[in-house]
Each structure stands twice: as C-alpha cells, then as structure tokens.
Structure 1
Amino acid sequence: MSEKKKLLILVGPTAIGKSSLGVEIAKRFNLEIISGDSMQVYQGMDIGTGKITEEEMDGVQHYMIDVMPPDTSFSVHDFQKHVDEVIDEFHEAGDVPFIVGGTGHYIRALIYGYEFNDEDDAEKRALTARLEKLGSTILHSRLRAIDPKLAQEIHQNNRKRVIRALVKHELSNRISSREGPGYTDEMKYDTFIVGLTRDRKIMHENINSRVDKMFEMGLEDEVRALMSDSSLSRTASAAIGYKEFLPYFEGSASLEEVKETIKQHTRQYAKRQLTFFRNQLPVNWYDLDSVNTDTIFEDIYQFLHTKERKKND
C-alpha cells in the first residue's frame, strides 16, 4: 500500500491566535495556507469573521478566503469538494497542504472523507416526505433564504426541483453532529493536527478585546451594508457577529447590548469548538501558557521530515 500524502492542520478556539501563528509556521516551513473557517469564504464579511488582512498575511498565499458572495449558501459538502481540489493540487506539486481554521466539522468531513450519498439515504426520503406537505410558496421562500440565485432559476411551481434543492442543503449541513456510516475510522491523509489552548480566563479576555476592536473598526457599518445591499444566505446570516445586530436594527436592543451578546455567543462558541476538537479529532495539544512555540515548530519539522507514521509506532 502506498504511503498517504501529508496534511498539516492548525486548529483552536476563536481569538487564540491561529492566524498569526499560522503565518509564522508557513514562513518557517515554506508553506501556503488553506483557510478552514466556514465564514471567511464570504466576500465582505471581514470584520465580524476576524478575517486575516493582506498585511497580516505577510506575503503568505491564502486559499478559501473571499471565494463566495454572501448571498450564496456554502455548506460543509461544498467546503469538502473545494478543499479536496486544492489539496490535490498541492500534492501534485509535491507540496504539503496546511489548513488553518476553527470550523471543526468542516475539517472532520475533509480528513475522514465523509461520503455524501443521498440516493439510498432513508433520511433523504423522510425529509422529502416532510417537505412535500408544505405549500409551494413556503418551500420557495425557504430556498430563497438559503440560495437566492438558485431560487431565481427555479420557479416556485416546480416543487420537485425546489424540494430536491432543500433536501440536498439540509443533508449536507446535518453531518456536523453525525456519527453514522458516512465517516470512516481512518484518515485520508497522513495528518498532523496542532491544537492551541490556554487558560480559559485569558481566552475570554482575548475574545472580549477582539469584539471591542471589531466595533472600533466599524462592525456595525459592515453588517448594515451587507444586510441592505444583499440578501445574506441563511448560512452567512447565522454567523456570530452578524445575527446579533437584528434586534438593534429593529430598535429592540442597544448597541452595547449587541456587543455584550456577541461576546457571550463567541465565548460559548469557543467552548463548543474545544469540545468538538477534543472529542472528534486526533489533536496534538499545545498550551500557549506553558509551551514555547519552538516546541510546536520542532514537532512540525519532525512530522514533515519523517515517513508516514504507522499505528503501531
């Protein structure tokens, strides 16, 4: 059996410093970065997603950033398809792909090769039966919220196509919590996952500071422009840092309340991220409060310069 191709991944909760460390790693080992963030694929969603700037990239090429308009749905299935193609290009060139991001179920679907097979899926039949009970207007409005462009192409009276599109979207997003037969026990690549953690109090302080900075940078204006100039897809509009503004725009919450809600939701999200990484991925953890980054660099060097590690090693 031929050796698996290598894949390096850097994960960790939001606001822990993945982007800056990722650039350091990329420059040290002559790598390019593939973003593993589910929201940074969207154009115009910059401040609220903490998107890395061109200056912060420091000359390191980044992929999967700003690749989709915000009114388009981008599912875990879409991510898997796009990133698999990018990884193949790296491997064909003899390079090691390097993913940096915090969307755990996107990364899990990628490295464990989740198989999206709807044809014999009982869940597909159940979803279809449930949707068929709804009126054409309701079905089409749901599709419009998910994918406005596709909704324009499909007339609402074409119930079969509308339902098919809704089922495909729903199934592709459900795998974030699925443990079923779609996953294999073996990873597709010889993968080394660097996971960052640190004291929870410090993480919370970093999150609060980041949200304050987002507001100083003009987060309110960014969200307002996105919501007025385009129809955000359901995926994009559910992003933390964006959905919390709705009560404010409707006049039922103050800007300070929006800020505090974003901080709270972000802290909760960071906790969920850590739980997912610890339970669903084979992460090599590094506590930034006690481990020098040189240790991380040394372990990455060993991974990059050794043959595929066997399970019994």
Structure 2
Amino acid sequence: MTPIAVVGPTATGKSDLALELAERLDGEIVNIDAMQLYRGMDVGTAKLSIAQRRGIPHHQLDVLEVTETASVAAYQSAAGADVAAIMERGRVPVIVGGSMMYIQALLDQWEFPATDPAVRARWEAVLAEEGVAAVHAALRAVDPVAANTILPTDGRRMVRALEVVELTGRPFAASAPVIGRPRWGTVLIGVDRETAALDTRIERRTAAMFAGGLVEEVRDLIGRGLRAGVTARRAIGYAQVLSYLDNEYDLDHAQERTLIGTRRYVRRQRSWFRRDPRVRWVDGAAPDLTERALAVLDEAETV
C-alpha cells in the first residue's frame, strides 16, 4: 500500500503510466495538477475523460469552480485525507501530476507561514495598480534571492513572498520544506523524454487542444466567471485564449504563445524535479515503461 507519485514534466506520459500502475496494483489515482482541480477546464489541461479513466477512482479532479482560488495549503489537507483513506481501504494511492509546489507540499508536509489579509491586500493592490514590475522591484529590495527565483511574470507568487517576508522578517526561502523521507514512504517515479521528442509532443498536443475546442471551452468558462478567477484565468492556454478573445492578437498567435509558455513551464518542471534525489527516472518513450516503473517499485521496497 506504499503510495506512488508519478511526476515530471508536462506531456511525458504520466497519466497513462499512472493508469497502468493503478490497474496492476489495485490503486486509486490522486491528481496533483493544480489546473485539473477546476471544473470545466478539461481540453486545455488534457484532463482524462470519465471513459478514459477505466473505472479507476480519481480524486482531486473537478473540485473547484473557476472563480475560486487554488490553494496549496487547501490541496495539501484535502489530498492528504484522500491518500490516507485510500490506504485505509487497502488500496494503493497513485499520485500523478506535475504541479511542483503541490507535490512538495503533499509529500514533505510543508508548514505554511501564516497569512494576513491586510498585508496580502496591500500588495495585491500594488500588483493591480502598478503592475508586476512594481512588485518584482519591491521583492528585489527585501529578498533578492526570491526575486531571482520567482518568474518575473508570476505576480501572485511574488505577492505571497512579500507577505511572508513582511510577516516573518525572514527570506521567503526560509519557509520552504526540507527534502527528507517523503510522507507515507511514497516512491517517486519521474517520467521524462528526450527534449526534441518532447517538444514535438507538446506541439502536437497544443495543436490538438486548439483544434479540439479550447476556444469554445474558454468561452463557456467566461460565462461561469473565468475572468473573475485569480488562478484559473492565468493557466497556460486559457490566458492566451482570453487575450485572443480580447482581440490582443490572432488565434495563430494565441496558439504559438501557448506552445512557448508550455515549453518554458516544462523547463522549470524538469529543473525542479531533477534537483530532487528521491525521484527515480524512467523514459516515457520506452515500450516497456510500465515494467520499468514496476521494477523501480520493487527496488525501492528492497532498500
């Protein structure tokens, strides 16, 4: 019943491997892709349809409305309860996804610094009124390491970093978890592919999303409050389609920007996961991928 976490960059084949492992090991799947938490965000997140799930129970899918803000802390609590319940049923939790902070929060029991609505609101106002460059400059002044680490376009995370620094008087990195034995003794399996081959898969997947109804999905979600959401509207693909619908650029450019954004995200994921010595890597292109992953599990159990 030792949990398995199938992690790694986008489009490497994690979902398919997780399904195979869940079938072979009598498991249930726990999603750890932040954008797949949202109801209706299906095409742009490559969310498996109910039919594609092979009757295997899936947890932490479709649990938020697009108007709600995804929270790492809330996910940590809810997904942790799911994993514990699966184990109590005598089944194997198969955790799958690529949202880096969510994975670390769940498996390393990240203890999050307190929040202060007034402090958060003040920095959010700066972000809204003066833009991301202003909060980036403010963060650089008080925590240059965090400013260099966080993407200069990630205004929401910079706001959180400024809040933590102000409340704790310590650098943002001081609140990060220490990598040690993963919670529940979880075995981490990383799935990756050769860069050129993965780039091709991402290009095909992006084209398939646009051909398969991503624009229509975004139009529907606008009617459900997507523009009011803090996190959902910033998802790769969704943000670009919103810009297209706002006539900021044409559809071909929206698709190209989505492709570029996905490739950048993959580079961040690869860098993040490769730093974790607990991850045992398998080649997503291997014809015997499932057997290789099972061999990793066997090896981990003998250590």
Q: TM-score, normalised by structure 2?
A: 0.78
What is the identity, as a one-letter code, of the residue corresponding to 1:254?
A: D
Offset at residue 252 of structure 1 (A): 2.5
What is the identity, as a one-letter code, of the residue corresponding to 2:160?
A: E
Rounded Cα–Cα distance in structure 1 between residues aligned with 2:123 and 2:243: 32
The answer as to 2:213 corresponding to 1:209 is no
Aligned to 2:46: 50
**In proportion to residue count, which structure has more helix?**
2
Rounded Cα–Cα distance in structure 2 between residues aligned with 1:266 and 1:174: 28
- Equivalent of residue 221 in structure 1, options 202, 205, 216: 216
Structure 1 residues 235-289: Cα deviation after superposition (integer angstroms, max 9, x where no partner): 1111001001233122221101101110110111111111111124621011234
Offset at residue 302 of structure 1 (A): 4.7
SS of equivalent to 1:183 = coil
Question: 1:178–1:9: structure 2 CA closer, same or farther, 3 Å change rule?
Answer: farther
- Equivalent of residue 36 in structure 1, options 7, 32, 53: 32
Offset at residue 6 of structure 1 (A): 2.5
- Equivalent of residue 180 in structure 1, options 174, 177, 185: 174
Query: 1:106-121 alignment to 2 at 5 Å?
Result: 106-118=102-114
Offset at residue 132 of structure 1 (A): 5.5
- Equivalent of residue 299 in structure 1, options 281, 296, 299: 296
- Equivalent of residue 64 in structure 2, options 57, 64, 68: 68
The answer as to 2:220 corresponding to 1:230 is no
Aligned to 2:185: 190
- Provide structure 1 residue ranges, at least 5 long, that are not aligned to the other structure: 119-123, 140-165
Instruction: Give RMSD over aligned pairs.
Output: 3.0
- The question of whether the paired residues in 2 share the 8 Å contact of 1:113 and 1:184 is answered with no
Rounded Cα–Cα distance in structure 1 between residues aligned with 2:83 and 2:190: 20
Q: How many matched pairs? A: 266
Aligned to 1:170: 160
SS of equivalent to 1:97 = strand
Offset at residue 34 of structure 1 (A): 0.4
Query: 1:137-148 alignment to 2 at 5 Å?
Result: none
Structure 1 residues 150-172: Cα deviation after superposition (integer angstroms, max 9, x where no partner): xxxxxxxxxxxxxxxx99x9379
- The question of whether the paired residues in 2 share the 8 Å contact of 1:108 and 1:281 is answered with no
SS of equivalent to 1:180 = helix
Offset at residue 95 of structure 1 (A): 2.8
What is the identity, as a one-letter code, of the residue corresponding to 1:73?
A: T
Question: 1:264–1:54: structure 2 CA closer, same or farther, 3 Å change rule?
Answer: same
Aligned to 1:19: 15
- The question of whether the paired residues in 2 share the 8 Å contact of 1:10 and 1:99 is answered with yes
Stretch deviating more after TM superposition (185-194 or 43-52): 185-194
Rounded Cα–Cα distance in structure 2 between residues aligned with 1:34 and 1:183: 21
Percent of aligned pairs sharing the same letter: 30
Rounded Cα–Cα distance in structure 2 between residues aligned with 1:42 and 1:133: 26
Aligned to 2:153: none
What is the identity, as a one-letter code, of the residue corresponding to 1:238?
A: R
Rounded Cα–Cα distance in structure 2 between residues aligned with 1:199 and 1:133: 41
Structure 1 residues 126-164: Cα deviation after superposition (integer angstroms, max 9, x where no partner): x855856998xx89xxxxxxxxxxxxxxxxxxxxxxxxx
- Provide structure 2 residue ranges, at least 5 long, that are not aligned to the other structure: 130-155, 166-170
Question: 1:289–1:133: structure 2 CA closer, same or farther, 3 Å change rule?
Answer: closer
Stretch deviating more after TM superposition (277-286 or 8-17): 277-286
Query: 1:128-143 alignment to 2 at 5 Å?
Result: 128=118, 131=121
SS of equivalent to 1:32 = strand
Q: TM-score, normalised by structure 1?
A: 0.76
- The question of whether the paired residues in 1 share the 8 Å contact of 2:25 and 2:92 is answered with no
Question: 1:178–1:109: structure 2 CA closer, same or farther, 3 Å change rule?
Answer: farther
Quick check: which has more Rg, 1 or 2? 1
Rounded Cα–Cα distance in structure 2 between residues aligned with 1:300 and 1:235: 35
- The question of whether the paired residues in 2 share the 8 Å contact of 1:9 and 1:98 is answered with yes
